[in-house]
Amino acid sequence: MYHLSMAKTLIREETLELHGHCVSYRIAGEGPAIMLIHGVAGSSQQWEPVMRLLARDFTVLAPDLLGHGRSAKPRGDYSLGAYAAGLRDLTVALGLDSVTVAGHSLGGGIALQFAYQFPERAERLVLVSSGGLGREVHFLLRAATLPGSELVLPLISNDQVLGAGTAVSGFLGRLGLRTGPDIAEFARGYATLADADSRRAFLHTLRAVIDHGGQRVNATDRLYLAEDMPSLIVWGRRDPIIPVRHAGTANRGMPGSRLEVFDDAGHFPQLDEPDRFAEALSEFIDTSEPAHADAAQMRERLTQQA
């Protein structure tokens, strides 16, 4: 069993320049590599409790996606494909030939895209409260994609509004978010939007995957391609952002995948129960063999579907 109090691992915060843009990342440990991808308006900081646990046995990499955290926020492409390509370039630059790729929320969609675009670099796939598996998503995110949200976001992310912590918590609670990581991380995410560059990147990212009706990017028609990739799906049963039934969709669509539902967790199971999350991920890696990309096998699958 993992215990946070026992974890003394040093997590290094480093940066490098890729394609002229600063990329910030956290890295710790030694061993087989795991890449942890955060969600929209998040940062690598969300993975720190889990990193401290996993770093005893693995090299754990958690980047700040472009437009997020301490990474650059350029005018550019914030599509899933662009994020996946950027993470491929980061792993190449850091000398990581292949990784177990794990993504939370938007990061789950990026992890799916990474495994699809670069199967030779993905040993295993881990989806955590992942986007891209169905239309439903909390209306707070849908509302942020509407015309005119550029004018509203600066008002709700300013210091005076966010400084009224009780009022913000009460408002988010009425929207169905649970006390704890759900509210804390959403409030932290919206606080970053006071910066104009962060706000622009947030809107470009969100509008690439969500519209007023819900999620507009759906990977379920390609999940069959992951049949030979060891896959773990982790979800909080009380997730108010993306319903837990999407976990079942992924589990059915990827034969042989493993499903872990945390009954008392919300949208951030890795923060609600970091010990359990780290233990499940570690056991999954220890009891599965890395995938090996096979072009002939993929060609056969693709032609069977044609």
- Residues with a known catalytic role: 105, 239, 267
What would the two tokens of residue 67 be? 């437009």
| DSSP result, 190-206 | HHGGGSHHHHHHHHHHH
User: How many Å apart are CA 47 and CA 9, to the nearest integer?
Assistant: 13
Strands 21-28 and 12-18: antiparallel
User: How many Å apart are CA 206 and CA 40, to the nearest integer?
Assistant: 7
Burial code of 12-49, b = ≥16 C-beta within 10 A, e = fewer? eeeeeebeeeebbbbbbbeebbbbbbbbbbbbbbbbbb
Quickly count: other Cβ atoms within 10 Å of residue 286's Cβ.
Answer: 9
User: How many Å apart are CA 73 and CA 36, to the nearest integer?
Assistant: 20
Q: Is 109 exposed, middle or buried (0-12, 13-18, 19+ CB in 10 A)?
A: buried
Residues 6+ away with beta carbon under 8 Å from 77: none
What would the two tokens of residue 286 be? 């220890």
Whether residue 104 contacts residue 220, with contact meaning beta carbons closer than 8 Å, is answered with no
Name residue 22's beta-bridge partners: 17
